[in-house]
Homo-oligomer: A and B are copies of this chain.
Amino acid sequence: MTTHARPGATGATPSPVATSAEHAAGPDAQPDAIELLGLVAQLEDVAFARLAADAAEAPSTEQRLELSRFAAAAVERRERVLARIAELGADPVAALRQFDHVLDDFDARTQPSTWWERLLKAYVGYGVADDFCRLAAEGLDPESRRVVLEVLDDASHAELAVAELDAAGADDGVLSARLALWGRRLVGEALGVVQRLLVQRPGLVRLVNEGAAAEPAAGPEQNAGTDVVAAPANAPTKLFGELTAQHTRRMSRLGLTA
């Protein structure tokens, strides 16, 4: 078992914080970039495995075909990230492999018992992970950031989950209530994964801090509604606030209480 850090407590980790002059160019910039790219590649690989497993369980042929298309798209996204790692001169397989068990705990604690729980798990679980990577990506060099944001922008799988869950929940109050509860459990566990990552991976903390420091220049990826000037030391607090806000937004799109 890894130690759980409370949200916000992670900001106190005495990891070297890059100044904005070093932004994306400091001596640790490249290993940090490889670390985040490895995580994104791993998450896409996990997405592939989960979507393929979902396809095998899908209640209809249409859903099976659709889910396998999403699984194939996850492979394609993973390959783009691996190619970027290779461009940076690192070993793509090694970069991905270091995160081989990153979601094992999460998966063990959140075994879905119905098709709807499975869909919501993908939507909520991927959602938090993607948001985390998107925020940390703000600390990357421009080209790596472009690759990560492009890869994470492909939300077609989320659209399926939304459409199906929405259609199912719309006329079933019991299902909605149960899924709302399930969503809260999922987000709690997902935020736990992020906390553990920040404790174990100072490189990711550095990227989050650099991203927060650089935010005024973040351009179109900047999140509207978060115009507080972020000091690096508050970045993790801000990060968890942002992750929770995005989760709430996702749940309301489904008509579910976060």
Q: Are B79 and A75 in contact (CB under 8 A)?
A: no
Nearest CB of chain B from residue A12's CB, rounded to whole Å? 34
A52 within 8 A of partner (CB): yes
- Copies of this chain, count: 2
Report chain B residues within 8 Å CB of A17: none
State the Cβ distance, A70 to closest chain B Cβ, in Å: 10
Interface size class of A (residues with CB under 8 A): 20 to 34
A48 touches B61 (CB 8 A): no
Q: Is A5 an interface residue (CB 8 A)?
A: no
Task: Kindly supply a per-residue 1/0 record for chain A positions 36-75, scoring 1 wherever the CB is within 8 Å of any chain B CB and 0 otherwise.
Answer: 0000000001001100110110000110110011011001
Residue with the greatest number of chain B CB neighbours at <10 A, chosen from A45, A52, A61, A82: A52
Complex CA distance for A64 and B99, rounded to whole angstroms:
14
CB distance from A56 to the nearest CB of B (A): 6
Contacts of A45 in B (CB 8 A): 64-65, 68
On chain B, the residues within 8 Å of A178 by CB distance are none
Cβ of A71: which chain B residues have Cβ within 8 Å of it? 48, 52, 71-72, 75
